[in-house]
Structure 1
Amino acid sequence: MSSFMSSVDQRTNIVGQNRLELLMFRLQGSQPYGINVFKVREVIQCPDLSELPGANPNVRGIAHLRGVPVTVIDLSQATGGKRIEDLSHAFILVTEYNRNTQGFLVGGVDRIVNVNWEQILPPPHGAGKSHYLTAVTEVDKKLVQIIDVEKVFSEISPVDETVSESVKEKAKGLEVQNLTVLVADDSAVARNQVKRALSTVGIHVETVNDGRMALDWLKAKANELGGDITQAVPLMISDIEMPEMDGYTLTAEVKKDDQLKNIHIILHSSLSGVFNEAMVRKVGADQFIAKFHPDELVSAVQKWMNAD
């Protein structure tokens, strides 16, 4: 237990400094890709896979890991590339996203690198809307692409975005006139999920693509209103993993600004576990919610918009 908590401390210290660890991998050829180590539970050489009749074509089968069945997604094929054929040399990244455990089939795994979120940049302009990137960075003079896994999930196994009638009924008493909730997330899929959920109960939402944009937006609003903005923007919902500035650093920056510090902050991420619970306390966020459960999110928004 002491070594585990030491690991928690080390990783929260990295995240608190606007840094992250990327596990670099390949799909086809030499192009490097990256995934946040926080999301990876283990990396294994691809075992024999059991077929899953009727599954999405990008699902290669089921891996049995210590008796637990895990769905395996061909990440190359799911993002528009070629199917990974040689499974004898392939690997599976066993990950935890959106309250589920799944495996991503990849062509090869390289190494872990430590980078600053400021080095993680949005995809280049002109990439269009159909790409699968949330960000890019450079390692050893090579462009590393970071895949929008939430987009992959939404296409393979769409989540239920319906807000229940009971939650809608409770939200009727919420005074939302002239109030705005700011949503920061680098995934267009995730931004739209949150916006649709909150719109069903009449809440006005503004969206931005990363933590730096969110902080700039809030500061501009404070200058416009001439002080504390919580009467207009009582709540921000922020992803954790974002280019240029992560959600933890964004939260810390907001909480140390006299004009912004009273805004309630929900960290809303596909990351989960004890690391996030530790960081929520460390940076001063009000709540952590694992993506994506519309009833839980809308109920939390109602709670914090009603709070003093």
Structure 2
Amino acid sequence: MSSLLHNVNQRTQLAGENRLELLLFRLQNGQLYGINVFKVKRIIPCPPMTQLPYHHPNVVGVANTAEGPLPILDLLSAIQSGRVSNPSKQSVIVCEYNRRQQGFLVDKIESIVNMQWSDILLPPKGIGHSHYLTAITRIDNQLVEIIDVEKVIAEVTPTSETMSSELTDGFAELSQSTTPRTVLVVDDSVVARNQIKRCLAEVQLESVLLKDGKQALEHLQELVKDGKKLNEEYLMVISDIEMPEMDGYTFTRKVKEDPSLKDIYILLHTSLSGVFNKSMVTRVGADNFIAKFDADDLAQAVLDHFRKRSLPTPQ
């Protein structure tokens, strides 16, 4: 495990051309799963845990670590596929999501694989809305399921989507602005898309929701092909970074390199908060970046751009 830990620590700086590295692991159900190495802080044997009263049933306990209390979640239970029989014999993948560290019990660490985002596909249609998949892929003829961890965490510790009155008042002051009030939201997680949609709706902004960068790029290209001006259609684009088929880095770069698309404002909004390579944001030409999910931070970023676009054009 120490060699794999070394690899994880070395590879968290990866930010390539539509590439990612997946840490592969298995749960006690035997299925192969994957998680983006960017989100992995470390891998540890299951530590001693304290049981908290009235805790969520999917939380096995809380471990005391050098970085503070670490809630440890039974991922098998969270995705409704059983329960871990003996947590003390499990490994823990410590990840950072939405500005918080979270441990996930896993049965076996397999390996790290380097892949193209184009090989990461959306789950097949027809499997319903209650599943916990955000994407799938195949490695050596094995199906790899990529779990919508944001959905798992949201069910355990829901995030507040209420924004401060100062921000809602700020949007109210712009009620007469002729600036478009529609935002293009690009995210593969249904939880994240709906969080952003509800946040924007609270300040009377509309959303168009797409699932990945490829869909978003084709959508923008189609609008231009139809003779429409993007800045008359949208206030801005809010895009995740981790997405199947085309990630947010590649989407942003392709938009900014296209003279007919480059003027659209792109805010990258991602749960890759702890290991995020900010130099990559500048390199691909994104206009702004914030970490998920804080309603006030998101609203402030949108409000700042809304105000800027609503200013009279200098003569």
Q: TM-score range by the shorter chain?
A: over 0.9
Give secondary structure in 2 for the equivalent of 1:145: strand
Q: Deviations over 1:82-124 (max 9, x none)?
A: 1111224311011100011110111111111001000000001
1:10-25 to 2 correspondence within 5 Å? Answer: 14-25=14-25
Give secondary structure in 2 for the equivalent of 1:28: coil
The answer for unaligned runs of 5 or more in structure 1 is 1-6
Work out whether residues 176 and 203 of structure 1, in 8 Å CA contact, stay in contact via their aligned partners in 2. no
Give me the whole-angstrom Cα distance separating, in 1, the residues matched to 2:201 and 2:97. 25
Q: Deviations over 1:196-253 (max 9, x none)?
A: 1111111121000111011111111112234x42122231000111010000100001
**Aligned position for 1:68:** 68
Work out whether residues 12 and 37 of structure 2, in 8 Å CA contact, stay in contact via their aligned partners in 1. no
Q: Deviations over 1:52-105 (max 9, x none)?
A: 111100000011223621000000001101111122431101110001111011
Q: Which amino acid aligns with 1:102?
A: Q
Give me the whole-angstrom Cα distance separating, in 1, the residues matched to 2:240 and 2:146. 15
Work out whether residues 99 and 274 of structure 2, in 8 Å CA contact, stay in contact via their aligned partners in 1. no
Q: Deviations over 1:2-36 (max 9, x none)?
A: xxxxx999765x43310000000111243100000
Q: What is the CA-CA distance between 1:173 and the residue it aligns to?
A: 2.7
Give secondary structure in 2 for the equivalent of 1:34: strand
**Aligned position for 1:141:** 141
Give the percent of matched residue pairs that are identical in Structure 1 and Structure 2: 48
1:113-124 to 2 correspondence within 5 Å? Answer: 113-124=113-124
1:70-89 to 2 correspondence within 5 Å? Answer: 70-89=70-89
Give secondary structure in 2 for the equivalent of 1:16: coil
Give me the whole-angstrom Cα distance separating, in 2, the residues matched to 1:178 and 1:224. 18
Cα pair distance change 1:8/1:55, threshold 3 Å: closer
1:206 aligns with 2:208: yes
Q: What is the CA-CA distance between 1:176 and the residue it aligns to?
A: 5.7
Cα pair distance change 1:167/1:185, threshold 3 Å: same
Count of residue correspondences: 300
Work out whether residues 70 and 103 of structure 1, in 8 Å CA contact, stay in contact via their aligned partners in 2. yes
Cα pair distance change 1:166/1:103, threshold 3 Å: same
Q: What is the CA-CA distance between 1:127 and the residue it aligns to?
A: 1.0
From 188, 191, 202, give the equivalent of 1:189.
191
Cα pair distance change 1:87/1:9, threshold 3 Å: closer
Q: What is the CA-CA distance between 1:179 and the residue it aligns to?
A: 3.6
Q: What is the CA-CA distance between 1:289 and the residue it aligns to?
A: 0.9
TM-score, structure 1 as length reference: 0.93
Work out whether residues 249 and 283 of structure 1, in 8 Å CA contact, stay in contact via their aligned partners in 2. yes
**Aligned position for 2:226:** 224
Give me the whole-angstrom Cα distance separating, in 2, the residues matched to 1:11 and 1:157. 26
RMSD: 1.8
The answer for unaligned runs of 5 or more in structure 2 is 1-7, 310-315
**Aligned position for 1:241:** 242
Give secondary structure in 1 for the equivalent of 2:258: coil
Give secondary structure in 1 for the equivalent of 2:226: helix
1:145-294 to 2 correspondence within 5 Å? Answer: 145-174=145-174, 175=177, 178-226=180-228, 228-273=229-274, 275-294=276-295
Give secondary structure in 2 for the equivalent of 1:231: helix
Give secondary structure in 1 for the equivalent of 2:276: helix
Give me the whole-angstrom Cα distance separating, in 1, the residues matched to 2:55 and 2:307. 43
Give me the whole-angstrom Cα distance separating, in 1, the residues matched to 2:10 and 2:76. 34
Give me the whole-angstrom Cα distance separating, in 1, the residues matched to 2:74 and 2:303. 39
Give me the whole-angstrom Cα distance separating, in 1, the residues matched to 2:146 and 2:121. 10
Cα pair distance change 1:260/1:179, threshold 3 Å: farther
Q: What is the CA-CA distance between 1:296 and the residue it aligns to?
A: 1.1
Give secondary structure in 2 for the equivalent of 1:249: helix
1:305 aligns with 2:309: no
Work out whether residues 172 and 203 of structure 2, in 8 Å CA contact, stay in contact via their aligned partners in 1. yes
Q: What is the CA-CA distance between 1:287 and the residue it aligns to?
A: 1.2
Give me the whole-angstrom Cα distance separating, in 1, the residues matched to 2:67 and 2:235. 46
**Aligned position for 1:4:** none
